[in-house]
Amino acid sequence: MGRPVTLFTGQWADLPFETLCQKAKLFGYDGLEIACWGDHFEVDKADEAYCRKKKEILAKHGLKVFAIANHLVGQAVCDCIDERHKGILPGYVWGNGDPEGVRQRAAKEMIRTAEAAKRLGVDTVTGFTGSSVWHLLYSFPAVPQSMIDKGYDDFASRWIPILDKFKELGIHFALEAHPTEIAFDIASGKRAVKAVSNHPISDLILTPLILVIRVLIMLSLFPLSVIKFSMCT
């Protein structure tokens, strides 16, 4: 059997779950990576009966589930929390909006996500981690290395306990390397993995599309002659 082709549902969370299943099958997908927002998969409701119902809907449309995704909550674990996060988080995670409280509730929700994944019968949760140092990417005024080091220390202190719980449950966490994350390219990805001591339950997803988009943006902003010149200097 060839490698299954799956659809991540997060970009279509405005569609009811069953409607998306119908469309995914029509488009030729083998299965889904189900987002934990919209009505696609609600962690706070995901008891045995809820998970059984989701699997029945998938089976009805000839689809399988290979992972669930909680990028939005994972983002809040390490981020510098502000009003933007209120728009992407469940109300019970946002709470009163106190930044540290949000981060701690997000961490607990990621553990509950792993528990829900186990009940659903999948062994992988994909997502983001957030970053306390992404805003320092444009290094002016000059950013001392110690500030970046603190960011990776913060990431490790918040995520190692989460990953330990994932390990207990037999669930993998797959971090999508992406702008705004502690791991946004190959170099930062390697450092992130090192920061959590090469935790055996963590994986890194590199999305080739992100690299392609960066090149296309550069080409749209600058004449090709300028790009050639800058690359040769």
Q: What is the pLDDT of residue 189?
A: 87
Q: Which CATH superfamily is domain 70-232 in?
A: Divalent-metal-dependent TIM barrel enzymes (3.20.20.150)
Q: What is the pLDDT of residue 229?
A: 35
Q: What is the pLDDT of residue 46?
A: 98
Contact 78, 91 (CB under 8 A): no
Mean pLDDT of 98-107: 98
For the sheet containing 64-69, what is the strand order?
6-8, 31-35, 64-69, 124-127, 172-177, 202-206
pLDDT grade, residue 99 (50/70/90)? very high
Q: Please, what is the average pLDDT of the chain?
A: 89
Q: What is the pLDDT of residue 228?
A: 37
Cα–Cα distance, 3 to 225 (Å, whole number): 41
